[in-house]
Structures are given as structure tokens and as C-alpha cells.
Structure 1
């Protein structure tokens, strides 16, 4: 005969079974896919691609993807096998072409995943997986496009180009950094909170005189200054350990930067205070700023084309790092492409210098000066050693004597 305890146990088990069944009924989907995404079969990404390329004279495809169709096809062939998925009995996989178009459009506009969902008829949940995956494939496929010189001869070639174009000898690259603004990362505290009262990761770049990246470090927390980011990078460790294979010379080969960095044997910045017009220190500052402007132009054109850098990225720091690094690799890829180079950086894009007169590049005209995204780093005063000061003075003396140019006193 059943006891009261047995009845209680049976009743409890029955309640659990009923509760589980009710929960399953609540979770049961009304449909596998909404009608919005089912309609993709009527207007697929391939149809969109055809429409964009049907009227070449209007440049619709180039505006949509920020590159020529030839470069799009080349890139698709490189990353296609890495991003392709298998069809299942439930649904057809999104083709690699659509995945690449979706990612390039996101980089070009910085639109929200919800906005892209209505354009491509792909759920925002799936978009959140597609974009980081395609970005990682692009970085892997374009790995050779961002590479520092590996020997003394290659470094000398970089320095000769700087001297020819910007009248700054022994310069191996211009260095600067930018904050890429994020939504507040979960449980991050103040790690990513920067001096602009935003959350960000830092892009640190070194550019040559051809406006391409030699090195990029992305992902450092926004609270860290330019100097701190630089000193935690692989580049700085190699520089400190003499592993960069720089050319051996009596006057060191140097990198140039702004006041956010500290003076170093191989790193020059401007003199800290306003100098008398025509003095050797003011002329040095002017010549250095002309060379350092290269990296400012690189950041300017990259953010003008890839507008995702100008908007608050609603991504985790890890995914945002991948997105920013993708923009860096695509910048070099498009700069070196014979198809898209003039599309990406048409004549007049960058600042030009005619005998000391600086002509602002067209990228400056499209800057959003009210935007708080992609902002410069904070400048921090730093002490300098006597040896580093002597190297800077040696450059100053050179600019006043054998390295003098006729127009410098008129503008410095």
C-alpha cells in the first residue's frame, strides 16, 4: 500500500514532467526560417552582384565594395575555399561571394548588423559569425602585404624614398596611433577607457613614404598611451634587441613620430617648445612634421574609405581587432593593386608638397570633425637622454648646412 511519502514523490515527478512538456511547447518554433530570409531565393547575392556590375560606367560595384571587380574576383579566389560552407537538408549555405560582399560592405559603411540583414536577407546572428570569419581569411590571404624590411638594403631603399620625397634622410618610417572606438566591453572595467572618455582599442602603425603600412599593431587597450603601445609591440622589442637588421651608419637610421613617443637613438620627435622662426630647431620640427604627415594621411584615407573605423563598433575587442587589422591589409592591397590603386587613392588624395607649400589632400575634405571615432593618441611629455638629444641636434645641424633646401626658411 502506498504511503503519503510515495504519493508525494509521484505527484512531484508528474509536476516535473508537465513542466518540462510546457517548456518544450514554449520553445517550439513557429517556423524554421522567417519569410524575409526565405525570399533570398528570389533575390540572391549573385543577382545583386550582376546588378552592380551591369552598368560599369556608373561605378556602382566599386562604390559598394571599394575595389574593382578584378580585385574582388582575385580576393574571392584566394579566400573562397576557406569560407565556403556545405549545404544541408535544412537550408542552402551562404555562398562565398555573398559572404565576401557582405564583409566588404560592412567595412565600407560600418552599418549595424540589423541594417545589413535587410540588405542581404541574412539574419544578424549569422552575420555576426560571417564577418569575423571572412576578415580572418582576408588577413591570412594577404599576409605578405604588410611586412617590414628584412635586411639593411631594403631599409636603405625605404630611407632613400623618404629623402627623395620628403627631404628627410635616414628615415625608415613614420609612426602614429589611433583610437578605434568600441561599445563598452563586458566586465572590462577601465581597461579600454581612454582619455576621450570612450572605450577603444589602439591601432599603432608605421608607414613608408609610399603611404603603405610596414607594420601594424592592433588591439591594445585604449587607456594606454602611444608610447606604451609602442613599447609593448613586437616592433619595439626587435628594435631594442637589434633584431631589425638596420643599416649600420655613424648617423643612426631613425623613425619619426609625435610627442606621444619618447626620444630614442632610433626614434626622433620634434623639439618640445615653440622655436624662433628660422632657427635650426624650428626648421628641424618643420622637416620632421613633413615626413611624419605620411602616417596621418594613411590613417585619413583608410578611414575615409572604410567607414567602419569612424563609427562605434558594436563588437568585442577581439572581433574589433580583427576588423581593424583587415582594413590595414586591404589598404596595402588596394594601394599596390594596378586595378584599384587609382580608385582607392586617385590623384590629389594625399597631401602634396610643392617646394614647401603643402596642398591638403582630398581625404581631409570628407573628414567628419564631429566624430569621436578613430581619434589621435594623447601626447605625453617625456624625458630624453643626452645621447638622444645629441642625435636630434645632429639632424638639426644637417638641415641648416649640407641638407639645406632653398624654401625651408620661408615656411619654418
Structure 2
């Protein structure tokens, strides 16, 4: 991490993380607490070894990580992952159409398993089909691969469709309260904004997916599927970049909860 990025994070998170000295205890310097949290998140090292490295207890390391994550959720997530407004939806649709020839498409959705250490309770719920324990991160990205909706924390055993139905995105979109009322006539059909999903997701008027390959697809169906799959690569690449920036190490379930942008 560059010094510039480190200073940026400190300035952003200071209001939520900075503590005051008391007559009974001198606080660990704010920048040191941020550095401890970043070291843990970047390396996945044990709390004890990080404590030795920074000269603090493992309990202090744990608190620094929890405080950092809570501050980031409060101060950074609303700024970096926001529900698009009408103007932004129009911009995303125009970009996707220019790049992939899909009118009215504003993004793509997918899920990714985040490895965790098995919790003591209900550990079977977190055992996924791949054979390890995880939580699911559901994300929606625009045509440039920027996340504009996230929903995390569901047990790894759940199907992607079930995770979607538990999210606020499903609740709002199904009621017609999420995407702006902006339709366009496409082949005789008035189509509104929609996102792309794979075959794991349920077909909706705001979520389209490829035709299932039953061996009887027409040439038009095959062409449609290829176009959808080419455009959906953007969300797969986004998760690839996300995972490429962090070490894939199991995280502890303690204190973990769902995170969802309101969009």
C-alpha cells in the first residue's frame, strides 16, 4: 500500500476510530491502530504474531481490526458503493449498449464464496458445495466492473437464487421501487432497465439470463446466449480483481454480520 493510500484511509476513518486518552490509560496512536488492522487484513497472520510485531496484545489486535472494519462500513461503503440515481442508470445503460450491444442493461450480478473458519454453531449451514466453509458475497457491477450493490453474510450452503431473494435488491426490484421507470421499445417489447445473471438466478423482468441448453436451442437462442455471456464476464472479472487484491484466507465469524448497500 502506498503512503498516499494509507494517509487517505486515516483521514477518512479518523472520525470513527480515533480515541481519547483517559486518566487511567493512554490510547494506542490512531495511525498505529490503522496499521495493525491493515496488516491483519492484508496478510491473514495470527493475532498473536501481529501483536508481537506491533508490541500489543492479541486482544488489542482484534479490537483494531473490528474497529477498522466497522469504521469502513460506516464511512467508506456509503461513499464508494452507492445506489445509482436516474442519471447514473442512464449512463450505465448507454455504456453497456455501446460496448456489448445490449440496450437497457445496467449491470451484471454474481455471487462469490468467502472462506471462513467454521463457526461453533450451525457450522453445517456454512459448508458449501465446494467442500469448505464460507459466507456468500453477492455483488452487482456496471459495465466498467464497478460495484454498485453488495449483499454479504449469507451461509455458504445457500443457493445463489435464495441469497438474491433474501436481499434488499430483490425486495425493492420486485415491487418496482428500485429501477427508474425508463422503458424502451425493443423488438415490439417495452423493456425497462435490467441486470444480467447466470442460470442460477430466477428470470425476472429486471433480471435476464441465458436460455438453458437443452440441446434444442435455435440459432437465435445461441447468439443471444453468447451475447449475454460475453457481457457477464465483467462481473466475473470484477470478483477476480477483488480477490486478487486480498489474501484468500479464512476469516473469523465472530462479530460478522450482513452488509448491504441500500442499492
Taking structure 1 as the reference length, the TM-score comes to 0.57
Q: 1:165 to 1:112 in 2, by over 3 A?
A: farther
Separation in structure 2 between the aligned mates of residue 298 and residue 209 of structure 1, nearest angstrom: 10
Other structure's SS at 1:203 match: strand
Separation in structure 2 between the aligned mates of residue 290 and residue 100 of structure 1, nearest angstrom: 40
Gaps of 5+ in 1: 1-61, 63-67, 329-412
Separation in structure 1 between the aligned mates of residue 65 and residue 165 of structure 2, nearest angstrom: 31
Greater helix share, 1 or 2?
1
Whether the aligned pair in 1 keeps the contact of 2:115 and 2:134 (CA below 8 Å) is: yes
Gaps of 5+ in 2: 185-189
- Larger deviation, residues 88-97 vs 233-242: 88-97
The aligned residue for residue 202 of structure 2 is 262
Task: Give, in angstroms, the shift of residue 208 of structure 1.
Answer: 0.6
Residue by residue over 1:75-97, the C-alpha shift from the partner in whole angstroms, topping out at 9 and shown as x without a partner, is 21221132122335665321111
Task: Give, in angstroms, the shift of residue 242 of structure 1.
Answer: 0.5
Task: Give, in angstroms, the shift of residue 275 of structure 1.
Answer: 6.3
1:2-401 matches, within 5 Å, as 62=1, 68-88=2-22, 92-142=26-76, 143-151=78-86, 153-246=87-180, 247-249=182-184, 250-273=190-213, 279-307=219-247, 310-313=248-251, 315-316=252-253, 318-319=255-256
Separation in structure 2 between the aligned mates of residue 187 and residue 141 of structure 1, nearest angstrom: 31
Structure of higher CA gyration radius: 1
Residue by residue over 1:166-197, the C-alpha shift from the partner in whole angstroms, topping out at 9 and shown as x without a partner, is 33222111100011111111222522222123
Separation in structure 2 between the aligned mates of residue 120 and residue 168 of structure 1, nearest angstrom: 52
Task: Give, in angstroms, the shift of residue 321 of structure 1.
Answer: 5.4
Separation in structure 2 between the aligned mates of residue 321 and residue 121 of structure 1, nearest angstrom: 32
Task: Give, in angstroms, the shift of residue 278 of structure 1.
Answer: 9.2
Greater strand share, 1 or 2?
2
Greater than 6 Å deviation, 4+ residue runs: 274-278
Task: Give, in angstroms, the shift of residue 154 of structure 1.
Answer: 2.4
Taking structure 2 as the reference length, the TM-score comes to 0.87
Aligned pair count?
Answer: 254
